[in-house]
Structure 1
């Protein structure tokens, strides 16, 4: 009887106070019906084993689920989290960068600010991630407990029961043809990085030396006035890259149109890059002299080698990107279920 009373206690303590007495009587009667007339401890253990864990049994008696997010909403919950978290992270990083650069006075080397931004950026992503996780989880936990459907059947993104007709709205995407969100947001992040380097080159690109408070920016590598002569066409390239990333996000897979758009972006970007790079006044004379002395070569040789090397790498990467886009776009849909 001791084991029976403990088992009933473990079940009823997980139930609302108003239902405990009735369920305790019902459960005690059920257990007694399962036992022989002259039962012993082994008989009691066998009967309780058939009834199962007190947690599972209590869950069957409750009107509310004993889990935070159940199978009915779990797939929708995870899909929403995966979609919202990266967007929220990117927006928080962009806003943080904007705050710093708007308030930048030029008294501190950008490299020191960049190192501080790395640490603060990580913390900002964690903070935003926790906020998104909390509010999305809270929303679905409330849905779980207010939903009157007790069948437990998982719901689709439209919060309806799944039917075969839902497959008509889904496009089959081969794995090698798919465009991941990491690729999309990586592209946006790269655009933000090189655009920052372009507009703040006189504070970012150049020679650094150790100082009392970290690295001090000593010699700018580029003439900012020369760079800013080309800002209208650079803004066009930035806009094209952003549009390409958004197009990739919407489509979710490589197509001939995306491959063509990517090729146009690479071609325009390469032409603009060549025009800027071949400007004879792009490199600052102080930087050229410093680097030529460092490598013990003629300043003109240094400029030619640096320009040629950067140009070769850029053209090669642009060609590879364009080729890779067309290659992925040509991947067929073999194995698609019809």
Structure 2
């Protein structure tokens, strides 16, 4: 059953409240919204229009929730706080990561060692994060003091869809398909090769990783598939599942970065073939850095996603 605007509004309001307040606030909002909508429809207004008007008058559910929880929004001020916080989180999620990757590539091209690459990249990323926080806050400070209008308007169209309880079959199928895809790609690379040459296709992954290194990777993929089945059978994510998912992600990260650092991730013949076809040493360094960033990024995201799903499942109970 599709959630109504009122259901979505109430869910968006109570989700950040303490558990002991959620039921009380939910009941209060349902009653007050229903009364206000009824008053408008009694005057001849259409039901849908009356509902939208009432919710719009109530305003951003984040602001309403802060009032119920007696939580001050005074870092910037209630007029700009939520806009500032949402923009800051978005910038911090994107810009430092881009800066990290750019510096890492630049250091690799310059011939720096792995330790210097990591240290410089982290230093620049942290500096960028500090600057983003400072200058974004300063801009909103000026906007508030001058009374300028940011142009941001909240509407009921911004309400998030109400999350569905449990884990569906689509998630299970998606996870199993991804595991099968990567397993198939590894087998194809080993026995058929992806890079065509005049003699025979070259594999991209170092043959020396077979059978033990790739065998460990297959075990981790099997564990990922088993976890997906367990989550589906349980119907929801739990803290234990999140820990298992993190352990798998850390293991994949450790295996990939170790092989990359020892120079045994890529097939030397594949690298030589690429260099002979116009890829120089700088490009080789860029390839190594980009591969490391991708491995780390995917692993961190996978682990983080598990904890976010577990937290969402706890809140939905």
TM-score band, normalised by shorter chain:
0.3 to 0.5
Q: Does 1 or 2 have the higher relative contact order (CA < 8 Å, sep 6+)?
A: 2
Q: Structure 1 length as normaliser, TM-score?
A: 0.40
Larger radius of gyration: 1
Q: Structure 2 length as normaliser, TM-score?
A: 0.43
